[in-house]
Structure 1
Amino acid sequence: MRLRLRLFEFEDLSWFPDVIRAGMMDYLHFMISALGTYRPIVPLLAEGLRRSGQSHLLELGAGAGGGTETLLKTLHAQGQPGVTTTFTDLYPQPAAWAAAAQRTHGVISFEPRPVDALAVPAHLVGFRTIFSAFHHFPPTAATALLRDAVRGNTGIGVFEGAGKHWLELLLAVTVLPVAQLLLTPFFRPFRFSRLVFTYLIPLIPLCTIWDGVVSVLRMYSPAELLALAHAADPEGAFVWQAGRKRHWWGPQVTYLVGWPAGNDQLAVGSASYRKSL
């Protein structure tokens, strides 16, 4: 699908109620974790950490942190036991993050204050990642986000849990809403408000359907991601790769990764484009 529309998403709106946003994030956290959405990009993440000389991930736009614990366990099992993560977001969710920090015995930490992904404070260091959120940024802001990583001389990985296909739009309005209605009582931690705004006043599922469809329509293709990277890094300070990785059970993950060229002895030129279909 080449169509890309700049429609709004409810979770981007500053006035959007936190209780509804949290309910949507809880659903995404559960689904991404349960389905292992980002497992296919673990080798890319490991390569980015190695080539950027990092052992810490700085997650931008973390939301409820869905899937990160699974990624960390996989990285630890594949020879990088010291990798840790800090969650950040413009709309922090310290309650959800504190639970993750407790479960992982501090392997996951968090920044309780709002963090603008376009201007990350200097004290927050690490290989930057952004999962399922890069499509929220229009081209100018997306370029600024990547430029800030280049300016900070830190690696960055952008990952979207879809391949931008019409089938994904169909799933967003059929199968996934049914799954949300069936699974909501099992989300933890338990919130009575989640039940109210799912079943009595169904704002959470309705807003999730809208945002899910718009997310696919707003996604950047690998070629567009690489063009944004080149705009953010005209001097070729970073090595860039963009493409898609397929999950074993079918779905794809679209990605862009970059790290300082000075750390990449194998790099030839300023950028590369790797497309994995």
Structure 2
Amino acid sequence: MKLRLQLFEFEDLSWFPAVIRAGMMDYLRFMISALGTYQPIVPLLRDALRETRQAHMLELGAGAGGGTAGVLRRLRATGLPEARVTLTDLYPQPAAWQLLQAHTPGLGYEAAAVDATAVPAALTGFRAIFSAFHHFPPAAAEAILADAVRQRAGIGVFEGAGKHWAELLLACTVLPVAQLLITPFIRPFRLSRLFFTYVLPLIPLFTIWDGCVSILRLYPPGQLLALAHRADPAGTFRWQAGVVRHWWGPEVTYLLGVPHETGR
């Protein structure tokens, strides 16, 4: 499925209730962490960090921090013991991030809102975007990459899915059932999450819509490279894009950009 549709996701809308958005992000974080969604890209990310001589990742569009803790722990256990990460988002979620911070050495966060298209120069590090790049239309996605190029910051874009009709079917069937089963075990515990899952099921309904739209909005590797080359017309970065697969089937789509002279 190569077609990309620029539909809308409810969690992107400024008027969307924060309590529903937080419930959706908590579920996404739980599932990504439990399934180890981003473990297959750890070797790629580790190599990029080494090439840029970085131990610090600046995560943009972090949401509730899904998968970040697992990636960081794996990096620290496989050759980068000094690795650390700072979570940022346009809509910061300090409550969720504090929970991750308490259990994850090397993880911190920026409490102020951070626009991924214009990152403050004081926030340095190798930029990483997990499960969020598809939210941006082409012009904004290109601006994110161009800002990294302008500030000479290496960048990695990772989407925990491939672009397949089977994944759409999964988002409409199996995952909603899983959400109903696991919601009581998601931490931090919130009565509002239970209410809006079982009494007034807005969190599952909006999750189904946003999950399906996320797949339709994914940029496949060829489109990611096209965005990167437009953002870097002078060719000052080395770009690579592709797909890596879990041993049990699911895919992760990725784009990596590293300044040419770094590491020479």
TM-score tier, shorter chain, comes to: over 0.9
Code of the residue aligned with 2:69 in structure 1: it is: E
Paired residue for 1:230? Answer: 229
- Can you list the C-alpha shifts for 1:45-76, whole angstroms capped at 9, x where unaligned? 00110111111000000000011111111111
Structure 2 counterpart of 1:259: 258
SS in 2 for 1:85: strand
Unaligned runs of 5+ in 1: 266-277
Matched position secondary structure for 1:128 = strand
Aligned counterpart, 1:40: 40
SS at match of 1:206: helix
Match of 1:66 in 2: 66
Query: What are the Cα deviations for residues 95-137 of structure 1, in whole angstroms up to 9, with x where unaligned?
Result: 11111112124x1111101100000001111000000000001
2:128 is paired with a residue whose SS is strand
| Equivalent-residue separation in structure 2 for 1:212 and 1:251 (angstroms) | 15
* Deviation at residue 264 of structure 1 after TM alignment: 4.9
Q: How far 1:35 sits from its partner (Å)?
A: 0.3
Equivalent residue number for residue 269 of structure 1: none
**CA–CA separation in structure 1 for the residues paired with 2:142 and 2:63:** 21
Q: 2:245, 2:251 within 8 Å by CA — same for their partners in 1?
A: yes
TM-score normalized by structure 1? Answer: 0.94
Q: Which residue number in structure 2 is paired with residue 275 of structure 1?
A: none
1:77 CA displacement:
1.2
Matches within 5 A, 1:97-112: 97-105=97-105, 107-112=106-111
- The match for 1:272 is none
User: Counterparts of 2:101 and 2:186 in 1: how far apart (Å)?
Assistant: 18
Distance 1:232 1:120 in 2: 15
Matched residue type, 1:202: P
For 1:55, the equivalent position in structure 2 comes to: 55
Whole-angstrom distance in 2 between the partners of 1:170 and 1:7:
18
Instruction: Tell me the distance in 1 between the aligned counterparts of 2:103 and 2:70.
Output: 12
Q: CA deviation at 1:248?
A: 1.0
Matching residue of 1:203? 202
Identify the residue that residue 186 of structure 2 maps to in structure 1: 187
Alignment map for 1:160-179 (pairs within 5 Å): 160-179=159-178
Instruction: Find the aligned partners of 1:189 and 1:95 in 2 and give their Cα distance.
Output: 8
AA matched with 1:125: T
Identity among equivalent pairs (%) = 70
Q: Give 2:244's aligned residue.
A: 245
Paired residue type of 2:238: V
In 2, the alpha carbon distance for the partners of 1:99 and 1:122 equals: 27
TM-score normalised over the length of structure 2? 0.99
Whether the 8 Å contact between 2:53 and 2:263 is mirrored in structure 1 is no
Report how far residue 42 of structure 1 moved: 0.3
Match of 2:94 in 1: 94
Which structure 2 segments of 5+ residues have no match? none
Q: Residues 4 and 218 of structure 2 are in contact (CA less than 8 Å); yes or no, is this contact kept in structure 1?
A: yes
1:23 matches 2:44: no
Give 3-state SS (helix, strand or coil) of 1:32's partner: helix
Q: Structure 1 counterpart of 2:19, which letter? A: V
Q: What is the total number of aligned residue pairs between the two structures?
A: 264
Q: Take 1:85 and 1:2, find their aligned partners in 2: how far apart are those partners?
A: 33
Contact 2:73-2:104 within 8 A present in 1 as well: no
Root mean square deviation, CA, Å: 0.7
SS of 1:262's partner is: coil
